[in-house]
């Protein structure tokens, strides 16, 4: 994490009134100039925990806990200083993007090239979905009830059957072969022959929270439901599965507004619910739910509803997720 400058930290404090923030966790009662509650940091019967709106601090006369709004969130949520800053910045709509990672110039250019390559792939796959070779994929999506608006919103596409659709297009655009391999979109045989990882699949692009395309989930079209239905991009310099939630770049505002997030298992579940008006929704992406995922969600909503399959595997996953 890059260093967040002092003036931004001040701005975050100023934009998060301590009474608002504390009362989103515990209920406060006004007495005189200050607000009072039973202390959340020690056991007590009478209220000795006070919050001062004029000084923007809290103090407990019982256990001595005290500090500003950032200290409160850190202590209450048991999170680190940078995590508390991010949470409060999100709450106030302050962007910390430029401080989030301190990338070297070289890393920056690799990330932006990877985004560009994924953009190229998305455009290619979307075009293919609308072409004659995408017919079976289109029919499948229609059968599952998805309309054009949903498919366009999430930029769903189709990876053609050929071994080199993306490879050829990327080389023509002068993308470096090493970059193609590190993106995971192109793989290499033992004999060093390069080919597209995703072929004859419905393609679900995965975006980071800022809306940069970072990976794909590809669903098989044909045949046996026995094998794995999905193939996902591998971990790459821009695709960290434990920190990416599918759909979040589109749903974050609705999640914040409703203070509630619906968590579903798959891309398809998400699209169907989205289309039916449930836009405060996310899905895991190529991995099980992680504590990092839970932390990200907590920044946006205090309530999470798990909508997993009714089958045994789904219920087990739901129990596991609920425990995080």
Residues in contact with Zn ion, counted by CB under 5 A, come to a total of 7
CB 250 within 8 A of CB 279: yes
Q: How far is the CB of 41 from Zn ion (least distance, A)?
A: 5
Query: Residue from 31, 42, 210, 320 that binds Zn ion (CB under 5 A)?
Result: 42
User: Helices 81-92 and 6-15, interaxial angle, to 10°?
Assistant: 60
Binding mask 119-158 vs Zn ion (x if CB under 5 A, - otherwise)?
----------------------------------------
Query: Residue from 4, 21, 28, 39 that binds Zn ion (CB under 5 A)?
Result: 39
HSE, CB side, 13 Å, CA atoms: give it for residue 201.
22
Nearest alpha carbon to residue 275 among 137, 170, 176, 146: 146
Spatial strand order of the sheet with 303-307 comes to 281-283, 260-264, 303-307
Residue 60 makes contact with Zn ion by CB under 5 A: yes
Residue 180 makes contact with Zn ion by CB under 5 A: no
Find all residues with CB under 8 Å of 176, minimum gap 6, and list them. Answer: 113
How many CB atoms within 10 Å of residue 249? 17
Q: How far is the CB of 44 from Zn ion (least distance, A)?
A: 7
Rounded CA gap, 165 and 180, in Å? 13
Q: How far is the CB of 24 from Zn ion (least distance, A)?
A: 19
Say which DSSP state 290 is in.
Answer: -
Q: How far is the CB of 59 from Zn ion (least distance, A)?
A: 9
Rounded CA gap, 42 and 58, in Å? 14
Of 66 and 237, the one with the shorter C-beta distance to Zn ion is 66
Binding mask 61-100 vs Zn ion (x if CB under 5 A, - otherwise)?
-xx-x-----------------------------------
Of 21 and 179, the one with the shorter C-beta distance to Zn ion is 21
Query: Residue from 41, 76, 140, 278 that binds Zn ion (CB under 5 A)?
Result: 41
**Under the rule (CB under 5 A), what is the footprint of Zn ion?**
39, 41-42, 60, 62-63, 65
């Amino acid at each position: 994490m890059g260093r967040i400058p002092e003036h931004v930290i001040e701005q975050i404090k100023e934009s998060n009134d301590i009474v608002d923030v504390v009362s989103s966790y515990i209920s406060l009662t006004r007495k005189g100039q200050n607000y009072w509650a039973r202390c959340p940091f020690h056991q007590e019967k009478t209220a000795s925990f006070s919050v001062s709106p004029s000084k923007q601090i809290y103090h407990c006369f019982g256990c001595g806990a005290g500090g500003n709004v950032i200290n409160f969130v850190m202590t209450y949520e048991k999170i680190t200083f940078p995590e508390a800053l991010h949470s409060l910045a999100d709450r106030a709509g302050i962007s910390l993007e430029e401080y989030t990672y301190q990338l070297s110039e070289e890393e920056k250019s690799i990330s932006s090239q990877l985004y560009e390559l994924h953009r190229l792939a998305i455009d290619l796959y979307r075009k293919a979905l609308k072409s004659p070779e995408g017919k079976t994929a289109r029919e499948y999506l229609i059968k599952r009830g998805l309309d054009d608006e949903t498919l366009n919103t999430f930029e769903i596409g189709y990876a053609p059957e050929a071994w080199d659709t993306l490879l050829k297009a990327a080389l023509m655009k002068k993308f470096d072969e090493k970059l193609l391999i590190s993106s995971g979109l192109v793989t290499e045989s033992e004999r060093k022959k390069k080919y597209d990882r995703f072929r004859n699949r419905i393609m679900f692009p995965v975006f980071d929270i800022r809306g940069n395309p970072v990976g794909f989930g590809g669903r098989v079209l044909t045949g046996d439901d026995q094998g794995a239905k999905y193939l996902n991009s591998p971990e790459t310099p821009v695709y960290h599965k434990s920190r990416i939630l599918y759909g979040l770049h589109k749903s974050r505002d609705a999640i914040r507004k409703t203070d509630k997030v619906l968590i579903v298992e798959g891309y398809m579940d998400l699209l169907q619910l989205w289309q039916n008006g449930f836009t405060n929704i996310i899905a895991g992406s190529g991995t099980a739910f992680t504590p990092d995922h839970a932390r990200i969600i907590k920044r946006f909503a205090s309530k999470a509803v798990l909508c997993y399959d009714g089958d045994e595997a789904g219920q087990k996953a739901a129990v596991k997720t609920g425990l995080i």
